[in-house]
Structure 1
Amino acid sequence: MAEITRVALEAWLSAQLKPDGFRDYCPNGLQVQGRDLIRHVVTGVTASQALIEAAIGQGADALLVHHGWFWKNEDPTIRGPKYRRLAAVLGAGLNLFAYHLPLDAHPEWGNNAQLARILGWQPDLDAAGLPLRCGPEGLVWLGRPAQPCTVAKLAAQVAGRLGREPLLVGEPDRPVGRLAWCTGAAQGMIEHAVAAGADCYLSGEISEPTVHWARETGCAYLAAGHHATERYGVQALGAAIETTFGVRCTFIDIDNPA
């Protein structure tokens, strides 16, 4: 069975995802130290109690997630659910790796790149042949649907591929030329999508101001679910680890309707 040291895996992840280049809301990288050797990595969206217990049940040595712990401005005390999660991870000798914005942004394995792959969208490219992006940290991607379509048809495609009906704000019959998207809680970036000339913007969550931006600018908006849009980056990253090192990687999906 192939194995890798914790130190070597952390170094490789850091080299690939470049977390130091982001101003994030949480620490990226190794959040909790576990055993030295890693033979089995479980990947998932959020380091919840259910995912931790599933990883322990599968005999994992490391848990790799998009949403980890220790967010800015949260209560720093370790009690209640935070205590139970941390006690379980420490008790099992489980390493916890978490990458937030770096995993959103990665041009190949990132959530935005993988969502485009799942939906068959074509990212626009810049002069260097890299995905064209806008907004803070370059997180909003720009591109086109695989074929010309209306907003309603695009929403139906999203529902079919993600298994979740998106909330649509805007004119269903509007043709979609330029698309913009950013997974998760990126609803506030609709103004950057509008400035980039998007006909339709998709993110995971919606908030009250998003509706008014969509209505007043004419840019249609699709809220496709925070969890539903962010299941794919960590899977792609796990597959890359498995291919590169031969270490077993298993994705476990703990469903979340948000």
Structure 2
Amino acid sequence: MQDPDRHAACAPQGGATTRDALLAALDALLDPARFQDYGPNGLQVEGRRQVRRLVSGVSASLALIEAAIAAGADAILVHHGLFWRGQRGTVTGWIKPRLQRLLVHDVNLYAYHLPLDAHAELGNNAQLGHRLGFVPPQGGWGRFGEQQLGFWGDCDATDAAQLAARAEATLGRAVICIPGDGRPIRRVAWCSGGAQGYFEAAIAAGADAFLTGEISEPQAHLARECGVAFLACGHHATERYGAPAVGAHVAGLLGIEHHFIDIDNPA
């Protein structure tokens, strides 16, 4: 899956800020204290104090870390960080080389999970909605679901098949589409990533179609029985837009360089 923004510089070159100033700018923008999340939001790994170049990406994989180091990053901003609820708390297996590379190269790692999904303008859901041509109702995107993470807006697709074709063209990957009852799609609801559990809340919010990253077995039955279309468009594919949007924004505020690096993922 290719993207014209891949490796693109998005901020003025030559400036510098500090690790703490970057954290303060991200926290002020994303307000992580509002959310009950699955892991820590903010600075997950402390690196050098001065930051000149910020790299953003979806997940703190070893491939992204290596690419960011090669690009001269002082800091990395991701949606999926290294630490999650339920981990054993040991630095063994897959986590060791990731941490080792960050620490050896003195690179800061910032991670924001639900706050990066929820931001009304720069978050994954808002950016995804704009990319797919959805239109916010007067007053801004509609919101639904737990912690108001789900979004809804207006759509002009003739049916679920047309919406799926649009999503495939925009996201560059195949879409699983359960078409519902074939109705026109006038109100579309969506929540990026693994939000298939929001489908019932989307139906209650009056959606004609619900779009997310993944599908589990029950959603196919619900779509057929309730008539509301369900589209699974890829976890990674639906969460590629928030981190670069936020990264470019804070880099512009602080006068540092920003680059987005997309590590493709078929999931």
Shared fold per TM-score greater than 0.5: yes
1:177 to 169, 174, 186: 186
Q: 8 Å contact 2:25–2:250 — kept in the other structure?
A: no
Structure 1 segments (4+ residues) deviating >4 Å: none
The answer to whether 1:31 aligns with 2:44 is yes
The answer to whether 1:137 aligns with 2:150 is no
2:64 alignment partner, SS class: helix
Structure 2 gap ranges (5+):
1-13
1:232 to 241, 253, 263: 241
Q: TM-score, normalised by structure 2?
A: 0.93
Deviation of 1:172 (Å): 7.4
1:70 alignment partner, SS class: coil
Q: 1:239-250 to 2 correspondence within 5 Å?
A: 239-250=248-259
2:262 to 234, 249, 253: 253
Partner residue, 2:213: 204
Deviation of 1:211 (Å): 1.4
User: How far apart, CA to CA, are the structure 1 residues paired with 2:203 and 2:125?
Assistant: 18
Deviation of 1:109 (Å): 0.5
Which letter does structure 1 place at the counterpart of 2:148?
Answer: G
How many matched pairs? 254
User: How far apart, CA to CA, are the structure 1 residues paired with 2:262 and 2:83?
Assistant: 22
Deviation of 1:26 (Å): 0.6
User: How far apart, CA to CA, are the structure 1 residues paired with 2:178 and 2:128?
Assistant: 20
Partner residue, 2:76: 63
Deviations 1:104-135 (A, max 9, x none): 0000100000001111111234xxx2421010
1:76 to 70, 78, 89: 89
Partner residue, 1:54: 67
The answer to whether 1:123 aligns with 2:136 is yes
Q: 8 Å contact 2:142–2:152 — kept in the other structure?
A: yes
The answer to whether 1:219 aligns with 2:225 is no
- Higher relative CO (Cα under 8 Å, sequence separation at least 6) belongs to 2
User: How far apart, CA to CA, are the structure 2 residues paired with 1:200 and 1:15?
Assistant: 33
Q: What is the percent sequence identity of the aligned residues?
A: 53
Which letter does structure 2 place at the counterpart of 1:251?
Answer: F
User: How far apart, CA to CA, are the structure 1 residues paired with 2:96 and 2:172?
Assistant: 33
Which letter does structure 2 place at the counterpart of 1:199?
Answer: D
Partner residue, 1:156: 165
